[in-house]
Structure 1
């Protein structure tokens, strides 16, 4: 394991970029389609982007947004903006125009980088419709509904009136040498990550350079990421799993970044085989799709040695198949949330499969985890309650929202996660659900994730999600949404009868709906609100 404490030497994210360019100068840094660049070349591109940001008026503390899929330009633009003293605001590619404009408006972004057409959608058109169209000076106010936004740069060869191309943006910086982030401190904000908004309006989570660097040095060390690794980054860059556990972790370790813009099993299989990918952090749904793909045997996946995943429901068979069928040496799980830098607990290499599947590992160094009951008092091991977190990783607060920030903390500086979990006697955390997903069956608390984990043990179930639905007698009961295993013929009656033998009666779903796929958000989590709406 790499010695801890390098984050202090790096100081800031631009300090990390410079260090990587020096330490791994001739190592391949990014492979994006036919483009291949070294860490030294990446450092030079980031310097050029930083100079352009300053030439375009980005001042220390200004928010700079990126609304684009995983690609080389995202990496260069984001790191360039941060190197110029800006604060990065990643915008979800799943957002529609109004959602993106809401984030841009509330973050008061001064500069926006946006993708050209992607998956048949014009993001520029979405932006123009939602922000009221082009108005005012091309330089000063390109969009009427976003008065703070001064410039919009499109990752394309052409851009409509009021917008600029990536090439024009870079040219603006000329040949000037960047100021090397002079005066930037580790305690300065590095980014504002907006929450997924599954329980209300998305909130902007503010964290610092030092917090980010320390957290992902720990993550990289526990995962065992090392120079020479080839890391397929399928997790979206707008999420901490893609940007911080992806881009920044590769800069720390000297691993090669291979960005993948969309979740697609066949594309992933082909890339793993062609690029000899060694590291594949991904949500369970993508890993399951790889294992079950009918053409999997056509691809050489023997290079894979590291998989990191995280979710409340991970079937033991998934861990066993990754190790047994693909020969993956290290399979780890982790738990985090945006308000805690995306990292709270993580498994350790050597953990048995049952621990990997049933828990999200133990608190990482410098972080404390506590389970609290409804009164806020600590719960004993084995008793479910709300997960509270305290440590270096806890956010500075929500951007411009003191009231929401105050609500997020319990006495003693403990961050309230809104997640329900259980700690075992060894400190391993099992995340059983969201407080908002729990439902009450005849007076008994039912936790969907626990029920889902049991359902996934049935050989005829490939995927499952459970939500509470109204019931005249019991108040609420469970409804399971199930994806059958390939070629499966499982019926509702068979699954309910099986469930009655495997779990307490109040936990047994009273109805089952079979679907081809579960609705998921961009980070791979099941969209429970969609299922509740259907119910």
Structure 2
């Protein structure tokens, strides 16, 4: 039976109160269709049932972890240390305070703060009260935050008191006074801070009746109930709210840990933002699953991260290629004891050649993993495992996670043979429950029950996938398809090049040709002629950019993704 996307058919358990718009439901798991592949990785030996079956919800996990790991450290945030018991206690206290403030099951609560212990407690408190968490990007300006607060119909905003000299609440009030006026705000402590007047008041607000109600709500949560609305970054239009579930989140990251290998007593340095699944679900939530300690990092600084790895005996670390390149290139690295660091997860569909080798040699890593996912699939899709060789880690995104199926299809929707490029479709348990209050966009995201990723991929004979580009970014030069990501990866290997973005531009002779925007490394220079000469020596002629611009920076959105439409408009 093929999977189908869910349509609204009445409120689901834990759904928002009547009158709130949106789509609720669970997308049924896809079964094998055509050449769909799902590599049969075994479940962990100790887990006869998957995490969603054992814990049912994220708050259920927290309570179970408190029983399992007790006084062991769960969060290390500067001067703030929380054990697993502390975290469960503070979750219930905050949830009781929110219930006392009138929070109802299904109410949306926005959270606008950097990585910190209080972010974790706030998120868990919202979910234990039956609310749906709506994380906000800390790079947002006031108008951007207001759009999501309004779009999600958030009933409350939990916001950091002050971060890097920015008062987020004041910024919201200035940009969108009506939104600020109708949205109650509770200030929460910043990174490394355990206290604040409004925070302390909220934690103390609940009484016996509210604690009893919290216990009732947590016991009533099930795997199919919504946990979050995480808004996409909106590179091609307005952000859309992706509705995610408790159970799929737990199951997905228990599977992910087959590659990451986090366990009791490990120390997990998380510099990836909590407002993304990579910092939240593959970050602190995974630590709770594994019995490890989360070390939140609000602002990444390579020198400080190296010091933290040495001082706190960090064992695991996720990050982008830029984060690990920063560690490798920092002058303090040779003098730091990094012997505790064993595993790194690199978040990129493509990264520079030899990076894996450099990370093993320069950081002493035993395992470097990578993977692929998108928010609409609970950010799970494929990943590599410790037994995969370096060339697989450096050149692919691994094979499908347990319970995830893949198809690669051509423009006609039919499966293409291995080795041929096509759009990657995902099936399985991890489909989103839809876009919040947007049934048309939800329907467009699926094809016969398979989630359309919009990414072009190639699968080899062993089932490993390579992401070649975004479907919408491909341009055709004289009849030849050109994948900008391939050109970008090649040009990024030039020693003076820090970052590069390639887009197609109209051409009267060839239809389209490539244009490259190049950011030089600090202290180095490069000319357009040098870039073109390098490209001609490194790739087929039709792939060589016909125009090169040297720029100080690339336009990016609040999530750091390059805004290629802005580059196309600049060319026009």
Distance 2:106 2:491 in 1: 48
Q: CA separation of 1:534/1:357 partners in 2, compared to 1, >3 Å: closer, same or farther?
A: farther
Q: CA separation of 1:252/1:156 partners in 2, compared to 1, >3 Å: closer, same or farther?
A: closer
Deviation of the 1:298 alpha carbon: 3.5
**1:166 counterpart = 2:209:** no
**1:72 counterpart = 2:90:** no
8 A contact 1:310–1:360 mirrored in 2: no
> Residue 452 of structure 2 aligns with which residue?
416
Q: 2:334 aligns with which of 284, 297, 302?
A: 297
> Residue 97 of structure 2 aligns with which residue?
52
Deviation of the 1:398 alpha carbon: 0.6
> Residue 286 of structure 1 aligns with which residue?
323
Deviation of the 1:376 alpha carbon: 1.0
8 A contact 2:235–2:557 mirrored in 1: no
8 A contact 2:344–2:369 mirrored in 1: yes
> Residue 138 of structure 1 aligns with which residue?
none
Q: CA separation of 1:472/1:274 partners in 2, compared to 1, >3 Å: closer, same or farther?
A: farther
> Residue 3 of structure 1 aligns with which residue?
46
> Residue 155 of structure 2 aligns with which residue?
110
Distance 1:375 1:457 in 2: 35
Distance 2:46 2:468 in 1: 33
8 A contact 1:192–1:205 mirrored in 2: yes
8 A contact 1:211–1:392 mirrored in 2: yes
Deviation of the 1:341 alpha carbon: 0.2
> Residue 211 of structure 2 aligns with which residue?
177
Distance 1:489 1:77 in 2: 46
Distance 1:502 1:432 in 2: 17
Q: 2:475 aligns with which of 428, 439, 463?
A: 439
Q: Which consecutive aligned stretches of 4+ in structure 1 deviate over 6 angstroms post-superposition?
A: none
Distance 1:290 1:534 in 2: 34
Deviation of the 1:132 alpha carbon: 1.9
8 A contact 1:312–1:449 mirrored in 2: no
Trace 1:284-363 onto structure 2 (pairs within 5 A).
284-363=321-400
Distance 1:423 1:520 in 2: 30
**1:452 counterpart = 2:488:** yes
Summarize deviations over 1:326-372 as a string: whole Å, max 9, x none: 11111011100010000101111121111111111111111111111
> Residue 549 of structure 2 aligns with which residue?
513
Q: Secondary structure at the match of 1:104?
A: helix
Q: CA separation of 1:427/1:100 partners in 2, compared to 1, >3 Å: closer, same or farther?
A: same
Deviation of the 1:234 alpha carbon: 0.7
8 A contact 2:252–2:380 mirrored in 1: yes
Aligned residue-pair number: 517
Gaps of 5+ in 2: 1-43, 191-195
8 A contact 2:287–2:293 mirrored in 1: yes
Deviation of the 1:519 alpha carbon: 4.9
Deviation of the 1:156 alpha carbon: 5.0
> Residue 395 of structure 1 aligns with which residue?
432
Q: Secondary structure at the match of 2:391?
A: helix
Gaps of 5+ in 1: 134-141, 158-162
Deviation of the 1:462 alpha carbon: 4.1
Distance 1:7 1:87 in 2: 18
8 A contact 1:66–1:113 mirrored in 2: yes
Distance 2:256 2:399 in 1: 12
> Residue 193 of structure 1 aligns with which residue?
230
Distance 1:218 1:59 in 2: 32
> Residue 473 of structure 1 aligns with which residue?
509
Q: CA separation of 1:299/1:2 partners in 2, compared to 1, >3 Å: closer, same or farther?
A: farther
Deviation of the 1:492 alpha carbon: 3.1
8 A contact 1:310–1:334 mirrored in 2: yes
Q: CA separation of 1:156/1:393 partners in 2, compared to 1, >3 Å: closer, same or farther?
A: closer
Deviation of the 1:522 alpha carbon: 5.2
**1:250 counterpart = 2:287:** yes
Q: 1:152 aligns with which of 185, 188, 191?
A: 185
Q: Secondary structure at the match of 1:425?
A: coil
**1:129 counterpart = 2:174:** yes
Summarize deviations over 1:257-280 as a string: whole Å, max 9, x none: 111112322232222222121111
Q: 1:369 aligns with which of 406, 421, 436?
A: 406
Deviation of the 1:119 alpha carbon: 2.0
Q: CA separation of 1:252/1:355 partners in 2, compared to 1, >3 Å: closer, same or farther?
A: same
Distance 1:389 1:291 in 2: 35
